[in-house]
Amino acid sequence: MKVTVDQDKCVASGQCVVAAMEVFDQRDEDGIVVLLTPEPPAEQAEDVRHAAAVCPALAIEIQD
Amino acid sequence: MTSTVNPVDERAARAPEFPMARAAGCPFDPPPGLRGMQQEGPLAKVRLWDGSTPWLVTGYADQRTLLGDPRVSADINRPGYPRQAPMPPGGTGVSFILKDDPEHARLRRMVTAPFAIKRVEAMRPGVQKIVDDLIDELLAGPNPVDLVEAFALPVPSLVICQLLGVPYADHDFFQENSKVIINRNVTPEQRSAAHGNLIGYLDDLMGEKIAHPVDDLLSGLAGRVTAGELARDEAAQMGVLLLIAGHETTANMIALGTLALFEHPDQLALLRETDDPKLISSAVEELLRYLHITHSGRRRVAVADIEIGGEVIRAGEGLILANDIANRDPDVFAEPDRLDLRRDARRHVAFGFGVHQCLGQPLARMELQVVYNTLYRRIPTLRPATELERIPFKHDGSVYGVYELPVTW
Ligand code: SF4
């Protein structure tokens, strides 16, 4: 699984961080998403998919 | 002649009034009329207070699609925008939630940092203390008592005051005024006056923060004003928005959620007996889904023609995305009318969807987790002190909830 994020789209809702803390973080200054793990291990795949599904800004893309 | 009538016009002519009434004795379910519309198809027409007939979107998937579509505008000043109430005389300033990008994004990003997950988590012990102290006071005070006044309103109010840097001592003043602003049944003049009061108050406070900045959100905005990045009236406007949004919504989730749990004793027992953060967090999501207190729908206007579900929404037509009924969409949530604290309800749209999704949701979630995990455990015998029929519901508010909830223990 490969993950990309679009920081321009992100509205800093933090939903991705709640869904998958090992993979996503937020910038201190403005809460914009930071991708920690662009290729998350299989056991995190479901959480990452959930993060992409709940991201209100459609800022998370996943390639399998 | 009927064959020449445009079917959309014809539908507009028989559009039912919106908002709709809930069924008697069923305070938690969306109006039955909405359910009927959801079964009929993705789009329907409704009639508003001013006679306009915007589209009503009831399905979960369609709402998410439209709220993520850049051809859909949140700008309240565009013709065709479905307003909830008449425009106050002379108008009022418009906060960023009623603007489009890039202006919306510019302003929103100035206030997102304090709502980042780690920052909110750092506030959790402070919120726990606020909740514990209020429960101590509650237990030492009169019994029965109104839970709204004694607990549901003070919790989020104290929290948002701390975060913004607003003196809590002034809470009577701003709660009175914000009550007027979110009531759909006041006159435009009353709403305008209340808004003016709050703007004046925040503007004074902004002056203080500009002169003596400390470590709070308003001081952060004051710094932007000083740096020339933000106009002072924009800063006051943002302060008003955060102050109102910060306590009205969460307060209603606390009181209405408690009432819903009283009506579902098996679910209340789950919360009373657990300290599993996973279950508490899923309970919060499920109550957000089930109660959908933002029951007037997300309001938008199309800026270009949009085809959806075999229909065309024309540029300039208004849209109401009814998130209450979307949260009960059986295609997404099995047995949607059942309150089930163990289900995975995280996809609900109680906070909206798209770039305007609620900014304060991490804070709201954390407050509700602390409250639901503390209140019923510390007062295990907590129960209503009156019958359901006697409880006054906020049918007329833009945020749904109860005006009062007498409780005993
Ligand atoms: S869920 Fe989406 S909008 Fe929210 S912080 Fe993550 S990437 Fe940004």
Residue B246 has pLDDT above 90, yes or no: no
**Residues of chain A neighbouring B351 (CB-CB closer than 8 A):** 56
**Nearest to B196, CA basis, from B92, B121, B318:** B92
Distant-in-sequence, close-in-space partners of B134: CB < 8 Å, separation ≥ 6: B150, B151, B154, B155
Greater model confidence, B85 or B204: B204
The residue ranges of every structural domain in chain A are: 1-61
Rounded distance from Cα A23 to ligand 1 centre (Å):
12
pLDDT band of residue B2 (cuts 50, 70, 90) is: very low
pLDDT band of residue B179 (cuts 50, 70, 90) is: confident
Residue B390 has pLDDT above 60, yes or no: yes
Nearest-CA residue for atom 8 of ligand 1? A10
Residue B130 has pLDDT above 50, yes or no: yes
Residue A36 in contact with ligand 1 by CB distance below 6 A? no
Spatial separation of the C-alpha atoms in residues B34 and B37, rounded to whole Å: 5
Q: What is the 3-state secondary structure (H, E, C) of chain B?
A: CHHHCCHHHHHHHCCCECCCCCCCCCCCCCCHHHHHHHHHCCEEECECCCCCCCEEECCHHHHHHHHCCCCEECCCCCCCCCCCCCCCCCCCCCCHHHCCCCHHHHHHCCCCHHHCHHHHHHHHHHHHHHHHHHHHHHHHCCCCEEHHHHHHCHHHHHHHHHHHCCCHHHHHHHHHHHHHHHECCCCHHHHHHHHHHHHHHHHHHHHHHHHCCCCCHHHHHHHHHHCCCCCHHHHHHHHHHHHHHHHHHHHHHHHHHHHHHHHCHHHHHHHHHCCCHHHHHHHHHHHHHHHCCCCCCEEEEECCCEEECCEEECCCCEEEECHHHHCCCCCCCCCCCCCCCCCCCCCCCCCCCCCCCCCCHHHHHHHHHHHHHHHHHHCCCCEECCCHHHCCECCCECCCCECCCEEEC
Residue A23 in contact with ligand 1 by CB distance below 6 A? no
Greater model confidence, B300 or B84: B300
pTM of the model: 0.94
Q: Give me the percent of chain B exceeding a pLDDT of 70.
A: 97
Q: To probe the interface with A, which of B96, B103, B117, B120 has the most A CB atoms within 10 Å?
A: B117
Residue B91 has pLDDT above 60, yes or no: no
B7-408: which CATH architecture? Orthogonal Bundle (1.10)
Q: To probe the interface with A, which of B60, B321, B357 has the most A CB atoms within 10 Å?
A: B357
Spatial separation of the C-alpha atoms in residues B32 and B52, rounded to whole Å: 22
**Residues of chain B neighbouring A57 (CB-CB closer than 8 A):** 68, 354-355, 357
Q: Residues 48-87, chain B: which have Cβ within 8 Å of A?
A: 67-68
Q: Quick one: which atom of ligand 1 is closest to the CA of A13?
A: 4
Measured between CA atoms, how close is A3 to chain B, in angstroms?
A: 20
**Residues of chain A neighbouring B362 (CB-CB closer than 8 A):** 13-14, 18
Spatial separation of the C-alpha atoms in residues A64 and A61, rounded to whole Å: 10
Residue B185 has pLDDT above 80, yes or no: no
CB B352 within 8 A of CB B110: no
- The pLDDT mean for chain B works out to 92
CB A26 within 8 A of CB A32: yes
Taking CA–CA distances from A28, the nearest residue in chain B reads B113
pLDDT value of position B1: 43
- What digits encode the pLDDT tens for the residues A13-56? 999 999 999 999 999 999 999 999 999 999 999 999 999 999 99
The B145-146 sheet, strands edge to edge: B145-146, B406-408, B383-384
Residue A35 in contact with ligand 1 by CB distance below 6 A? no
The residue ranges of every structural domain in chain B are: 7-408
For the domain A1-61, what is the CATH code?
Answer: 3.30.70.20
